[in-house]
Structure 1
Amino acid sequence: MTDIHGNSAALSAVLQDMECHRISHVYCLGDMIAIGPDTNEVLEALFARSDVTMVAGNHEDAVMALLEGKQPLSHGREREHHEWIAAQLDRSFIPRLARLPRAINEMHEGKHLLMLHYHLNGRQQFLPIEKAPSADKLDALYRHSAADAVCFGHHHPVHYFQSARRSYVNPGSLGCCDRPLARYAVMRLSEEAIVTELKAVPYDNRDFLASYTKRNVPDGDFILNVFHGNQQIVP
């Protein structure tokens, strides 16, 4: 799962759906916080579990920079939003957020998995979003990698590519969608293959959408339009 973006209702729907599958471990690929107002609820649900491993995303980077008195990469309205998120953040989460890695390399069933928020340069900085990714472009980017699968997020649409070298999986943003759907992926590993199932779980997002107004989220109307497709809140 990736890009929960402060949407606890969507996360709850996914965690409940996972109970229907034999999930051995959950990997959360960054941007758990910001955009949505439920930062503390999301982090509480994730940190309470022993079967979840997380990496840091650009929104964790920005909020942590503010909390540490540094200059975040965000500016303008985005920075104002990050300042609001930082002010709302339960301080008990700060040490754990500070320890989140940039990437995770894991071996399961003889398969090498690389999991990260987004593609990194040599200085461990996130690359600009590739608007039209493809297997060929990703193979070129990861030409020196031994990974059998690269899992990432950051770019909110779903992307799944299978090349002769490896699988590339972006399950899409869990918390930001223009429909009431929470997205994630299930990967089943064996020595012979990696089988990926892209999931989209329906959930009731009316209270979540209404919370932007109720909680006075900075630039709430802009966020609802850009990140949630300006869905109408119907009682």
Structure 2
Amino acid sequence: MRLAVLADIHGNADALRAVLRDARNQGAERLIVNGDVVNRGPDSVEVLRTLLERTDVTFTLGNHDDLLRLWHTRSANLPADWFTDPFWGATAWSAEQLDHAGLLHVPASWPMFLDLHQAGLSAVQMAHGTRDHYRESLSDRSAPDRIAALAHRPGEAPYGVLIGSHIHRPVHATLNGVLILNTGAVGAPATGDPRAQYLLLTATPQGWEATLRAVPYDRRGVLRRFETSGLMRTGLSAHIFRDEVVTARSLYTPYWAWTERAGLPRTHATWAQFLRQHPDLEPV
């Protein structure tokens, strides 16, 4: 059995198509989409429709999949001042696109995590973040005691493999005897490598074999659709999301954290200030 585990597509249809072609060529028999299908990029509707048309796909819930539904319903689980902050224009736009297509609430049925059991092999658990929260990072930097807690639940058989996504960085490591894998990101890598990244997981007589794949694709199409779709007219966050595709670097999260620490509004002026202070992140 060979699985393709992909995540963080973030509305980038060209990157998704490249990964689907590569997974087919690599002999993947099943797809597991490990969250964050939508938001950030211009193609949320196309990406979700493409995956829903297939019969070999299983989903887990990502924070952005959930965010758009929570946004559209003005959920009390989100800070009230977000709904009047123009910085969230791109999120509002993506939510409206999915709502008009009748797809906004599809992810509500997706589980937080999936277990995989194959005779003779270690049990596998996969989640966008972890089984406890879709925003919890899982990587080679995770605390060993946290890995132990995730892999050894009272009353459950231990897990030998934990798979996460969310951090937009591929990982292949062993901590406390547990294989830790992160898929990396299909649509918005944060590694400096713009190729679309995903994980192949193969059952072998010797155990699970993990291969991290990076697939080249032409980014000109998705970058053009940022402009032609109307997404760029929604404000600053759309510009940052586009720059993340250009640079293959994390920009949104460090900028958000920087404004929080400094007590600054998220505006074009503070974005320019942030880039002056972090020239290594400047888009070219």
Question: What range describes the TM-score normalised by the shorter chain of this pair?
Answer: 0.7 to 0.9
Deviates more, 1:144-153 or 1:162-171: 162-171
Q: Is contact 2:188-2:194 (8 Å) kept? A: no
Query: After TM superposition, which residue ranges in structure 1, 4 or more long, deviate above 6 angstroms?
Result: none
Per the alignment, do residues 148 and 77 of structure 1 end up closer, same or farther by CA in structure 2, a change over 3 Å counting? farther
After the TM superposition, which residues 63-142 of structure 1 pair with which residues of structure 2 at under 5 Å, given as runs?
63-71=68-76, 73=78, 75=82, 76=85, 79-89=88-98, 90-110=100-120, 111-121=122-132, 125-129=133-137, 133-134=141-142, 136=144, 139-142=147-150
The alignment's C-alpha RMSD in Å is: 2.5
Equivalent in 50, 53, 56 of residue 51 of structure 1? 56
Per the alignment, do residues 143 and 53 of structure 1 end up closer, same or farther by CA in structure 2, a change over 3 Å counting? closer
Per the alignment, do residues 80 and 63 of structure 1 end up closer, same or farther by CA in structure 2, a change over 3 Å counting? same
How far the C-alpha of 1:147 sits from its partner, in A, is 1.5
Per the alignment, do residues 171 and 138 of structure 1 end up closer, same or farther by CA in structure 2, a change over 3 Å counting? farther
Q: Deviations over 1:31-62 (max 9, x none)?
A: 00001110011001111111110111111111
Per the alignment, do residues 15 and 109 of structure 1 end up closer, same or farther by CA in structure 2, a change over 3 Å counting? farther
How far the C-alpha of 1:71 sits from its partner, in A, is 3.5
Q: Tell me, which stretches of 5 or more residues in structure 1 are unaligned?
A: none
Normalised by the length of structure 2, the TM-score is 0.72
How far the C-alpha of 1:164 sits from its partner, in A, is 5.1
Q: Identity over the aligned pairs, expressed in percent?
A: 25
Report what 1:176 is aligned to. 188
SS in 1 for 2:110: coil
Q: Is contact 2:126-2:162 (8 Å) kept? A: yes
SS in 1 for 2:209: strand
Report the structure, 1 or 2, having the larger helix content.
2
How far the C-alpha of 1:191 sits from its partner, in A, is 4.7
Greater C-alpha Rg: 2
The residue identity in structure 1 corresponding to 2:96 is A
Q: Tell me, which stretches of 5 or more residues in structure 2 are unaligned?
A: 1-5, 248-281
Aligned length: 229
Per the alignment, do residues 156 and 187 of structure 1 end up closer, same or farther by CA in structure 2, a change over 3 Å counting? same
Is residue 225 of structure 2 the alignment partner of residue 211 of structure 1?
Answer: yes
SS in 2 for 1:197: strand
Q: Is contact 1:149-1:168 (8 Å) kept? A: yes
- Give the Cα–Cα distance (whole angstroms) in 1 for the partners of residues 171 and 112 of structure 2: 21
